[in-house]
Amino acid sequence: MRSSRPLARLLLVAACFALATACSGRRSASDGADRGAVPPDGSAAVPPEPEVVVEPAATDAAAPPPAVEGLDVRYVAQGGRPPVSMSLHVAPDGAAELDLTSSWSRPSAPADTLGGFAVRLGPPRREALARLVEEGDLMRHDPGEPSTSPDSTTRTLILARDDRRNAITMATALEQEPEQLAALERLLIEIVDEVSRHPVGAVRAGWELVPDGEGVRPTITLEHAGTEPLRVLFFEAVRPGFRLRAEAWFEADVPHSDGRRNGWRPVGERAYSGVVLEQLVAQGSLPAGEVELAPGATYRFALPTFVPPVVEGGVRAHGVLAFRRLGPGPAGGLLTFDLSPRPVAAAPAP
């Protein structure tokens, strides 16, 4: 039986960094053509009030402030339990690329969409990054040391400008970091959230517990949520490790032996075995070998039916889905989805 697994690690997202822009105004020249004209009845004309036009200060939105130019930022989080794998790169021109490979990799909240994301940041975000780097003198900040605990996530910040470079390791909680460094990390977490709304080569996973007789059938939906094709591998007969993993486990809220409080205890699980996967491939429900997912492509995977026990505290289900993304270097490897907990409704009495 499987014990209760940890839910997504959540890091607190604090301050929002908004930049104010200034405007300068000037009065426009009056039209003059109708001003001072004498009406037909000969009465004196009342000069109209001069019209006021406010124009913004001349700026070039395409040209970032000088402090932004040349700044390259990488923010990486790896390891820990549950496993975290996140990489953000903000190039000097504002091009931001994000890679998430597990649901626990987004600092602010669990992610249901994994893979590659990209968007170009505007000058305000880039200027905020540059200002925090300069005000905190982070190009010369102490590089820090990685944690020795296998359960902690190590975050690495790599700053580069011109011929200067500094790599800072952060193993303690964000609120325990020096304020200058913590402020920059909070902004980077905001940027991670912003970029994660723009999937490119990414897939979204969700699930539901479909009533089936006296039980429920966990059914997983996988959808290409991005804009570019994505190569994946669901099943390969030769190498058992290269097979989709889909699993659901169930827990019941039952009294402890001391009778003082309830606790979740495992009561069953459902998973794909190698034999079942081979059957799905033979039926055409699951593609074998390398697959190129087109944007919008959708697959549904139904696990065997589970009949939950009837307990006063109720039953809940957790799930996991994992498969391989294909590509060179960091572009390859597992995408691991934590399927959010679901209450299991008992079958109605006959």
Q: Using the predicted structure, report yes or no on whether residue 64 has a pLDDT greater than 80.
A: no
Q: Amino acid letter at 78?
A: Q
Residues 6 or more apart in contact with residue 249 via CB below 8 angstroms:
1, 2, 5, 266, 268, 269, 270, 317, 318, 319
Cα of first residue to Cα of last residue in the chain, in angstroms, is 30
The 10 Å Cβ neighbour count of residue 124 is 15
d(CA 14, CA 103): 21
> Do the two domains 71-197 and 203-344 of this chain adopt the same fold?
no
Q: Of residues 34 and 221, which shows the higher confidence score?
A: 221
pLDDT computed for residue 221 by the predictor: 95
Fold of domain 71-197 = Mago nashi protein (3.30.1560)
Average pLDDT estimate for 234-257:
86
Say what the alpha-carbon torsion angle 98, 96, 178, 67 is, to the nearest 10 degrees: 170
SS3 195: helix
Average pLDDT estimate for 196-222:
95
Q: Could you write out the DSSP letters of every residue in 14-25?
A: ------------
pLDDT computed for residue 273 by the predictor: 87
Residues 6 or more apart in contact with residue 141 via CB below 8 angstroms:
166, 168, 178, 180, 181
- Can you give the residue ranges of every domain in the chain? 71-197, 203-344
Tokens 């058992």 appear where?
240
186 falls in which pLDDT band (50, 70, 90)? very high
Report the half-sphere exposure of 220 (CA within 13 A, side-chain side): 29
Q: Using the predicted structure, report yes or no on whether residue 237 has a pLDDT greater than 50.
A: yes
With a pLDDT cut of 90, the percent of the chain lying above it is 54
pLDDT computed for residue 301 by the predictor: 85
Q: Using the predicted structure, report yes or no on whether residue 263 has a pLDDT greater than 80.
A: no
Average pLDDT estimate for 323-334:
86
Lowest mean pLDDT among 101-105, 117-121, 257-261: 257-261
pLDDT computed for residue 284 by the predictor: 83
> How high is the mean pLDDT of the chain?
80
d(CA 120, CA 126): 10
CATH class of the region 203-344: mainly beta
pLDDT computed for residue 152 by the predictor: 82
pLDDT computed for residue 70 by the predictor: 87
pLDDT computed for residue 28 by the predictor: 34
Give 65-100 pLDDT, tens digit per residue: 445 678 999 999 998 888 899 999 999 999 999 999
pLDDT computed for residue 151 by the predictor: 77
Return left, alpha or beta for 238; rule: phi > 0 is left, psi -120 to 50 is alpha, else beta: alpha
pLDDT computed for residue 59 by the predictor: 43
